A and B are shown apart, each in its own frame.
Chain A
Amino acid sequence: MINKTLDEKAFHLLKEKMEQGLLPQWVITDPDIYELEIEKIYGYTWQFLGHETELKEPGSYITRWMVNDPILLVKNRNGEINAFLNSCTHRGTMLCTADRGNKKTFTCPYHGWSFNTDGDLVGIVAGNKVYGEEMCKAEWNLRKVPRVESYQGMIFGNLDVNAEPLEDYLGEMKWYFDILLGRSGGMEVKGLPQRWVAKANWKATAENFAADPYHVQTTHRSTVEMGISPEDPLYAGYGHQVVLENGHGINVITSKTGKARVPFQSMPESIWPLFEEHLSPKQLDIQSRVTVFVGGVFPNLSFVSPIHGTEGHLHNYLNFRMWRPLGPDKVEVWCWFMIDKAAPEEYKDAAYKGYLGSFGPSGTLEQDDTENWARIVEVSKGLMMRDKELNYNNVNNYLMGLGRVEPDENFPGPGVAYPTTYLDAIARSMHEHWLKYISKGLFVKEESK
């Protein structure tokens, strides 16, 4: 295996620029950087696979991707969720091509080898006759994803067997996940995630959610024109931008007064008592004041929990999305709708309509986001993005608030909380982690292992 590495000089120049709040634009779509990212970031970080409520019965399965690795998640007879490489151990054929379903065994269409919900090889066509009695079936079970762990129903996989535990990786984000996912006792996924392909780079889309409420006023200007969003250009900036460890981040957007615009994000009153039961007083304080939560888990999982409606009524929902890289300028977007299990059914239905009207490929807010993502990759490949002296003069500006906005020591949650969300603090933290991962083992020259 060839160990890819980053040119030492390029690394130092990158580091130098980034310390000043500048990101050389060529790194967004550079094909060599992309290869490094896939190997060094996606090979070692926790990737989101799905939510536990997507697998209801024993035998329920869903198929997912960890960038280019096809993954089969299946609930076994004991109710445990297993994650396997979705590839027959005989000749490597993709074992299951469906998006979801329920099965007792998975049979490969090529030679008929079959596996149970624990990944055990349970059937070989003409086994004894062609392989003999001595073949040890257990050696040919499905290959498990090296590490699979979950938190608040969110299942993650890691290709690095030595990775730190998921809970350590999520770190301070766990406290916010407890609010987003655990406030009423648990969330459920409705149906299948929507999927579509966008001309975009995964870093830009992740940054858009984790770190960028500043875009709201302009990108989503149409909702201001429609009278749905406030005229105040700072309206998405009130609240806190919270930089969390490990490159994660969350924006807790409140209002000009710091109070809620509508109590508990328009969630039904019937579930309010559950918040007190499941949240600490500090978490409840945040949940009672927030208008929008929006943030991300490094590298490519994002979420938004806003208030929306297309029929004049406002509803809250939780949207998780995963940006699966397909190339330097292409992502496959996976977009899940989640809602409090405890909410009344009619609220869930109305919230789903509110979601379709705002986010997802048909959402009126999202439609304009995709436009900007595409425009970023369209300009990033050119020669003028880097000059011959490798000075990388075309740089993106991440200076907002740098050295000017000081953390708010009174913020009740963990992390470094700045008293505005119009800030580049999370973006700079994401880029720092990005550089840390892709430059790991930098001074190892190309070698065959």
Chain B
Amino acid sequence: MNSKLKNKITTELQLEIINFLHQEAYLLDSRKYKEWLNLLTDDLVYRMPLRETVEGVGANNIAEDSAFFEETKKSLTTRANRLYTKSAWVENPATRQRHFITNILVESTANPNEFKVRSYFLFKRSRGSSHTIEEMFGERNDIIRKVNDEYKIAERTIYPDQAVITTMNMSMFL
């Protein structure tokens, strides 16, 4: 592992970005989707390719030709706004959800205002009186950009660890 410093990532900066991701998770879990949209840059790239099972050691097992999400800020806004209607039945009655964000690693990039941030996610969801707990987990690779002294998500690629998704549907954002 290359531990040589590029632009120094200070503890303070690291903590700010960790707090930012925790705050983002809180907004999603609290269904504050409009507030969540404010955390995204206008040129956002938001993707979630499929995971596939392939043979071979070290072989790429991300199906780059297939996706669950291929979004822009505009399309995410449509998705989010729909969840505020009375008849998005999937979320009415609302599911109870938690995003657990861990293993956050912040790296600098050539742009002093942009940071490469890797995190792991565990998403858990409970619906109605169901005894079954739905979950998804995997990794996110973000580009977090500093815009006017605020952090924003400029790019997010979500890698699920399941080849077959075990949530009933994907009304959530990860």
A-side interface residues toward B, CB under 8 Å?
Answer: 96-101, 103, 190-199, 218-219, 221-226, 310-312, 332, 352-353, 356-357, 360-362, 364, 366-368, 370-372, 374
Minimal Cβ-Cβ distance residue in A for B77: A310
Contacts of A370 in B (CB 8 A): 90, 168-169
Report the bound CA distance from A353 to B69 in whole Å.
Answer: 8
A99-B52, A197-B166 are contacts. A190–B79 as well, Cβ < 8 Å? no
CB distance A190 to B169 under 8 Å?
no
Verify if B67 is at the interface (C-beta below 8 Å from A): yes
Out of B66, B82, B171, which one reaches A194, CB within 8 Å?
Answer: B66
Contact string against A for B residues 5-43, beta-carbon threshold 8 Å, 1 for contact and 0 otherwise: 000000000000000000000000000000000000000
Residue of A191, A197, A310, A367 ringed by the most chain B CB atoms within 10 A? A367
Main secondary structure of the interface of A (DSSP, over half): mixed
Contacts of A196 in B (CB 8 A): 164-170
Verify if B101 is at the interface (C-beta below 8 Å from A): no
Contacts of A353 in B (CB 8 A): 70-71, 75
Minimal Cβ-Cβ distance residue in B for A228: B78
Please tell me the number of chain B residues within 8 Å of chain A, measured between CB atoms. Answer: 37
CB distance B54 to A190 under 8 Å?
no
Out of B65, B82, B85, B89, which one reaches A192, CB within 8 Å?
Answer: B65
A98-B55, A311-B75, A368-B89 are contacts. A197–B65 as well, Cβ < 8 Å? no
Report the bound CA distance from A361 to B70 in whole Å.
Answer: 13
Other than the given A99-B163, A368-B89, 20 more pairs (CB < 8 A) read: A101-B55, A190-B65, A191-B63, A192-B52, A194-B68, A222-B85, A222-B86, A222-B88, A310-B71, A310-B74, A310-B78, A311-B72, A352-B70, A356-B67, A357-B75, A361-B170, A362-B48, A362-B169, A367-B170, A368-B90
CB distance A225 to B74 under 8 Å?
no
Verify if B113 is at the interface (C-beta below 8 Å from A): no
Out of B63, B89, B168, B171, which one reaches A199, CB within 8 Å?
Answer: B168
Contact string against A for B residues 154-172, beta-carbon threshold 8 Å, 1 for contact and 0 otherwise: 0000000001111111110
